[in-house]
Amino acid sequence: MSKLQPIRGTRDIFPEERSRFRHIEEVARELASRYGYLETATPILEFSEVFRKTLGETSDVVTKEMYTFTDKGGDEVTLRPEGTAGIVRMLISGGLAQDLPLKFFYHGPMFRYERPQKGRFRQFHQIGVELLGVPEPLGDIEVIVLGSTLLEKLGIREKTTLHLNTLGTKISRENYKTKLITYLNDYWSKLSVESRERLKVNPLRILDSKDANDKEILANAPRLFDSLDSESLEFFETVKEGLDHLAISYELDPKLVRGLDYYCHTAFEFTTTHLGAQGAVLAGGRYDGLVQQMGGTETAGIGWGGGIERLSLLIGAIKKHPRTIAIIPVVSNLEKEALSLAIHCRAQGLVIELGFRGNLSRRLKRASKLNAIAAILMGPEEMDRGCVVVRNLDTGKQEDVPLTNVVAYLGRYQNGNADK
């Protein structure tokens, strides 16, 4: 029988990396709450129609990457590939439109059938925010600033570059698509197979092509910016002025697109050169037409999603948690007292490891393996005097400490003030 392994594209997240994940989630949650974003969660499983309506029948995610299956009740369901669709579905099915504007923060696992690479997995994790019911450009500014501030608090903003573009209004975009299709039709035979398909159903996505020939052809293609109407230009200028006022650096990127019809105005990505091909670490845009497309009333929306795996790779090591303190009964008949002391110390905020078996030597070896900073030795003679022995496992120094004072004494170890 072959050795059991995780499914390709999935993996176990061991404690050290999980601590980085938790750090990212906690920093994002706390920061989002300052901006008024309320934490929410949607199901990992949704009816497949939720994503077909949002991502489009012809998108790569729907046609190639979604984990879709029929459940035992005969319903076609999909493991969520992204977070926005579930939030919008929640807005509609939960009858929340009367409460607009709404701000939501979320985090959790997503699923896409992609070729695994560094920082890209088939089960991956995201944090994200969605701002619903705010059509003004001030909403775009706030959402982008929130993303930039998060990266700053994680200590990685200087490792990223904010790319910014405008997709304009729907009218501007339709005018541009007509010009782009006319231009690309002259080069149809030279386009990649993928771009030929996109030319039929989603021509804006060609602007994001990685094919060398496509890039050469696109070098002289019409620019979306030249097709923008006055409303689009004024909206984008306000967004840029807001970012400039707040000293949020960015680079204009005319090739940054969102190919679906409900996207409009602002599109943005924070990218890095530190992770190889997987450069985007946090990206978003305005999607004013999405709620209506999914069956709700016309509602403005803008948000972003950030990949926790990629953010984790960028932040590297984080501040270590306090090292544990081991409680070791010298004789077996003191195990109940050791258990009571462990519970008491934990209730006071100390990190305690209680050995479950073995003699004194074995338990000390276990404490050393756990990198414990100290050990509380509970012997009969010391207990008769109302004391325990506290041994510094880094120096070997030890002293008797009254039980009534043990919590205060141990605090010096986990506050970084131990006398070594």
State whether 139 and 284 are in the same domain: yes
Q: Is residue 216 situated within a structural domain?
A: no
φ/ψ (deg, to 5) at 46: -135, 160
Q: Quick one: DSSP state of residue 117?
A: B
**Average of pLDDT values for 371-379?**
91
Beta carbons within 10 angstroms of residue 234's beta carbon: 11
Q: Is residue 400 situated within a structural domain?
A: yes
Q: Please say if the pLDDT value at position 70 is more than 70.
A: yes
Residue whose structure tokens are 């050469």: 216
Q: Is residue 190 situated within a structural domain?
A: no
Secondary structure element (H or E) that encloses residue 280, with its range: strand 280-286
**Ranges assigned E (strand) in 59-145:** 67-70, 76-79, 102-111, 123-132
pLDDT, position 62: 59
Domain boundary among 295, 315, 335: 315
What would the pLDDT profile of 331-370 be if each residue is shown by its tens digit? 888 989 999 999 999 999 999 998 778 788 888 888 888 8
Beta carbons within 10 angstroms of residue 364's beta carbon: 19
DSSP string, 131-169: EES--SHHHHHHHHHHHHHHHHHTT-GGGEEEEEEE---
State whether 110 and 255 are in the same domain: yes
Q: Which stretches of 260-405 are DSSP H helices?
A: 290-293, 308-315, 335-347, 360-369, 380-384
What would the pLDDT profile of 16-47 be if each residue is shown by its tens digit? 899 999 999 999 999 999 999 999 999 999 99
305: CATH: 3.30.930.10
The tokens for 122 are 């088939």
Secondary structure element (H or E) that encloses residue 282, with its range: strand 280-286
State whether 34 and 136 are in the same domain: yes
**Average of pLDDT values for 158-164?**
97
Q: Evaluate whether 226 touches 175 at the Cβ level (below 8 Å).
A: no
Q: Is residue 1 situated within a structural domain?
A: no
Task: Collect all residues with Cβ–Cβ distance below 8 Å to 23 and sequence separation of at least 6.
Answer: 315, 318
State whether 104 and 50 are in the same domain: yes
358: CATH: 3.40.50.800
Q: Is residue 303 situated within a structural domain?
A: yes
Domain boundary among 261, 292, 315: 315
State percent of the chain over pLDDT 90: 66
Q: Is residue 208 situated within a structural domain?
A: no
State whether 259 and 114 are in the same domain: yes
Task: Collect all residues with Cβ–Cβ distance below 8 Å to 381 and sequence separation of at least 6.
Answer: none
Alpha carbons 21 and 13: distance in angstroms, whole number: 9
**Average of pLDDT values for 406-417?**
80
Q: Evaluate whether 389 touches 382 at the Cβ level (below 8 Å).
A: yes
Q: Please say if the pLDDT value at position 278 is more than 80.
A: no
pLDDT band of residue 63 (cuts 50, 70, 90) is: low
pLDDT band of residue 201 (cuts 50, 70, 90) is: confident
Residue whose structure tokens are 């990396």: 17
State whether 305 and 352 are in the same domain: no
Q: Please say if the pLDDT value at position 2 is more than 70.
A: no
State whether 133 and 260 are in the same domain: yes
Q: Based on the structure, what is the number of domains in the chain?
A: 2
Domain boundary among 293, 315, 337: 315
Name the least confident of 98-102, 159-163, 394-398.
Answer: 394-398
Alpha carbons 99 and 80: distance in angstroms, whole number: 25
Count how many residues are written for the chain.
420
State whether 255 and 332 are in the same domain: no
State whether 279 and 344 are in the same domain: no
Where is pLDDT greater, at 209 or 45?
A: 45
Strands 102-111 and 38-39: what pairing? Answer: parallel
Alpha carbons 67 and 113: distance in angstroms, whole number: 7
Name the least confident of 5-9, 53-57, 252-256.
Answer: 53-57
Q: What order of strands is seen across the sheet that includes strand 76-79?
A: 45-47, 76-79, 67-70
Q: Please say if the pLDDT value at position 188 is more than 50.
A: yes
pLDDT, position 115: 80
> Greatest CA separation found in the chain?
94
Q: Is residue 115 situated within a structural domain?
A: yes
State whether 291 and 348 are in the same domain: no
Which residue from 346, 140, 126, 163 is spatially nearest to 238, judged by alpha carbons?
A: 140
State whether 40 and 124 are in the same domain: yes
State whether 336 and 264 are in the same domain: no
What would the pLDDT profile of 316-339 be if each residue is shown by its tens digit? 877 777 889 999 888 888 989 999
The pTM (predicted TM-score) of the whole model is 0.86
Which residue from 242, 68, 214 is spatially nearest to 145, judged by alpha carbons?
A: 242
What would the pLDDT profile of 230-269 be if each residue is shown by its tens digit? 999 999 999 999 999 999 999 999 888 876 668 899 999 9
Q: CB-hemisphere CA count at 13 Å for 174?
A: 5
Q: Is residue 102 situated within a structural domain?
A: yes
φ/ψ (deg, to 5) at 189: -70, -20
Q: Is 70 helix (H, G, I), strand (E, B) or coil?
A: strand
Q: Please say if the pLDDT value at position 420 is more than 60.
A: no
Question: Residue 269 is part of which domain span?
Answer: 15-169+229-315
Alpha carbons 202 and 194: distance in angstroms, whole number: 11
